[in-house]
Structure 1
């Protein structure tokens, strides 16, 4: 497997330009034959001149007969921005259906949740592919507790005696790394057993890790851990979940607790978090 150069900032900049400049005028429009040509022409204006136009056309024409929604535009922008090298080589970039070969793919951790697989306690990582054939899909990967500890220093955490040691898998949220996707393991979705990280990824990761481990102070001067904070990434870049929580009465602890606004359950975030960890620990001992 070959690892290609990767710049997260350059990727996001190109993705945003494609989405806001080239595709925004088509939001809500039905994509028909003539529209495909117009879309390709506008996208080409945001791409290197070396991109093969027929490859771009073949990447877009699969959308013919559908509507350009905001979600479709976002996915298309990601897929094109994350596969410029393929388009330059004349290869169209399409939705992932199966893994044709081993591939090193840059990913960002979208979410983490405790999970038990057979008798092995661990976590389910939801990873967004930032480039390569799976881009921009979000796929899940189980990592045992031991695996989380093993990869922590690769991603930018310090040794246990250092300034920012690994303590919880929740601190992996929004970290970057290269997932070494293996075709033999990837049946219904991409799967990996090995990870790596570039120096630029570690630099970005450390900015989050240092605050989460309190090597640097919380910008809001909170003393509780980031994994227990009610603020989401919609309000704090160091948060470990997306949505800022709301308060409701919890049926488990009988007090007012924090709930994800998209969660209609009766148990607060902290009680669910602690219950999941206790269940995983109990299964590890059986």
Structure 2
């Protein structure tokens, strides 16, 4: 007899149901203001209690836990998050299992700073340039090789330590970035995707407003609404001291702080490798 493989949607529904049940069983009645006395066949809250507290029917909630193919709105997800007293990471996981974006203002009040363990890794990558980006593309950590490649970030005001500002508003950018437009447009598309996922984030609004008012290329391209995900890429730079550098760029997500990414630039050829060593000796 032929069988069919379950779809990705079926798998997500089952994972969503299992996750909700696990959190229901971990939530004590006292945590939601209910008495704990009486016979309870399972730990935690009963299904009917979660349904009532979340404003949904018992039948619908049972189907949800069973992994049936039903739609779950963002409003219901918010209600379940409150009822089950989910932590921020748990709430984000719930939304993503349901195919929804976590509410930015609720889940991410601010960007974390990199821990010393992350900064130590970035420093150990010398003489290869490396730096740390937060979700706003603000540069929140760097090694001396990256500073030698671009600029002394410590000398910039904190709100200018931003990759979009450096590309679109920093005067040396057009000379330093070889084929500037080909480098700028995909970066902007990636930034656009991040900004659109956090429409109420004030830092994104600040960056967009400033760049739209001061960088003509930014204002024109922003209106195209182009979006793109990240891909490892080769970038070339015309450095004022050592000349042409060819670098392979990759991003690594910080496991314990996923809002941060370590960007690493590795030499694409032996000549660039030698020039990075020269920069280290300067």
TM-score by length of 1: 0.25
1 or 2, which has the higher helix percentage? 2
Rg: which structure is higher? 2
1 or 2, which has the higher strand percentage? 1
TM-score by length of 2: 0.25
